[in-house]
Amino acid sequence: MDAAVTTRTKVTAIAGDGIGPEVMRATQRILAAAGATIEWEDAEAGAEVFRKGIPTGAPQETLDSIGRTGIALKGPLETPVGFGEKSANVTLRKFFEMYGNIRPVRELPGIRTPFSGRGIDMVIVRENVEDLYAGIEHMQTPGVAQCLKLISEAGCERILRLTYALAIAEGRTKVACATKANIMKMTEGLLKRVFERISPEYPGITPSHLIVDNCAHQLVIAPEQFDVLVMTNMNGDILSDLAAGLVGGLGVAPSANIGDKAAMFEAVHGSAPQIAGKGLANPTALLLSAVMMLRHIGDFAAAEKVEQAVLVTLEEGRNLTGDIAPKGQGVGTDAYVDQVIANLGRRSATVPAREYRRLDLPAWPEATHHLSPATRELAGVDVFIESGLESAALGDSLAALTDGSAFTLQSLGNRGAQVWPPSGGQTYLVDHFRGRFLLKSPPKDDAMAEIADLLQRIGRQHVWMHVEKLQRFDGKDAFAKAQGEG
């Protein structure tokens, strides 16, 4: 055991729904047999909490427990139909700002997949709180919905420094950053730019960037090429599940959520209500998540002991649960747990050992992160308008409305394509237009009066729903052009 582990560590245990209580008991039993220094504090979240009328799925008592312990081990949670509006999983991650999701993806002995023998051993790191998952959505018109994709420079730097800290802690030598920066040059491009800025600070690790769709392609062509992969939230959510499928699926996939003040380790598979209570559940995913938890708290000896026992059990192929055993040879949860416990102290003959160290993460200041540009200019505004008019009629109407105002209508867009002045394209129109209005001359102040005047003019004839300032920071445009816009 690591010298730093001298007392029992309190951990919040959230058993979860369906098979959750079974895999939690199984995991706790194995950890106790391995001598892990854990003191459990039981808490609840998920379906039963939703049914009690708590819309977040996580009661205050559970939040208080994680606030005290700073560590949680969590089984699968569900959001039953008709109860609750938010995922309890997302509630817990957001409440404690667990900004980094870590998903190891490693070929396991005895689990045959089309990729067996390729030597897959990577970690996917996913930004966990920003991006489209900020959940900021609006119906712009009755038939057009919007979701805001928010990416911050601070969020990018946090996830990237976590990624590099992980690579160092696990002795890995390559970090690949996958983005869609070729299309979303400001949002996805921000992760790429921060990656390129900080990578030189880690000279022992080789950085690379690739487009995320190519990353998906490469994951099924040559997954063994990857060591550590880092992505924005939605890209990471999708590709981490894809990667888990390469090595056996979510039933054996561990996961960690890391924040400055709390960390939660969880099985990412479902609650499997069809087998709940039957003693058939496979606890491997939660057990390997617990191994990550033990390393996080510094109990490296217990972590290695449990992990090796799991590897030996899978290697020998005796007493495996039905989902991973040869057909007709599966056993129940208890028999599998007994086999893992019997193998404590043994070492895998086929899986190379990896030396782990604790994550060395920077302490982020609690003050609001704010960047002040040297110069800030207002170029104009985008006004989003609901209209059933054809583009020519709407464009001519809006252009006429600007007569005598501080603005001129430069263009009209529909779902990102310029439709006025005509660009020659063939765009299927919906009732959601973006009018780009540029200031005729530089404003003397923030131009709020001029913007208000423009909105009043538009509002006399049309329905508008929101406005975006078109700004220039340090002399550079801080807005994108529409497809086809000059």
- For 41, list phi and psi in degrees, rounded to 5: -125, 105
Question: Chain centroid to CA 75: how far?
Answer: 18
In angstroms, rounded to a whole number, what is the distance separating the alpha carbons of residues 16 and 76?
5
Least Cα distance to 213 among 235, 240, 243, 193 occurs for 235
Burial class (CB in 10 A: 0-12, 13-18, 19+), 143: exposed
* Catalytic option among 94, 99, 164, 180: 180
* Catalytic option among 17, 131, 237, 323: 237
* Catalytic option among 133, 164, 336, 356: 133
In angstroms, rounded to a whole number, what is the distance separating the alpha carbons of residues 310 and 252?
11
Residues with Cβ within 8 Å of residue 465, at least 6 apart in sequence:
138, 140, 141, 384, 385, 386
* Catalytic option among 42, 64, 213, 360: 213
Burial class (CB in 10 A: 0-12, 13-18, 19+), 385: buried
Would you call 213 a catalytic residue per the annotation? yes
**H-helix or E-strand spanning residue 386:** strand 376-386
HSE value, Cβ hemisphere, 13 Å, CA-based, for 275: 17
**H-helix or E-strand spanning residue 123:** strand 121-127
Calculated CA dihedral for residues 180, 184, 187, 193, nearest 10 degrees: 60
Tokens of 179: 């983005």
In angstroms, rounded to a whole number, what is the distance separating the alpha carbons of residues 108 and 89?
27
In angstroms, rounded to a whole number, what is the distance separating the alpha carbons of residues 102 and 97?
14
> What is the DSSP-derived secondary structure letter of residue 318?
-
In angstroms, rounded to a whole number, what is the distance separating the alpha carbons of residues 302 and 338?
17
Would you call 133 a catalytic residue per the annotation? yes
Known catalytic residues are 133, 180, 213, 237
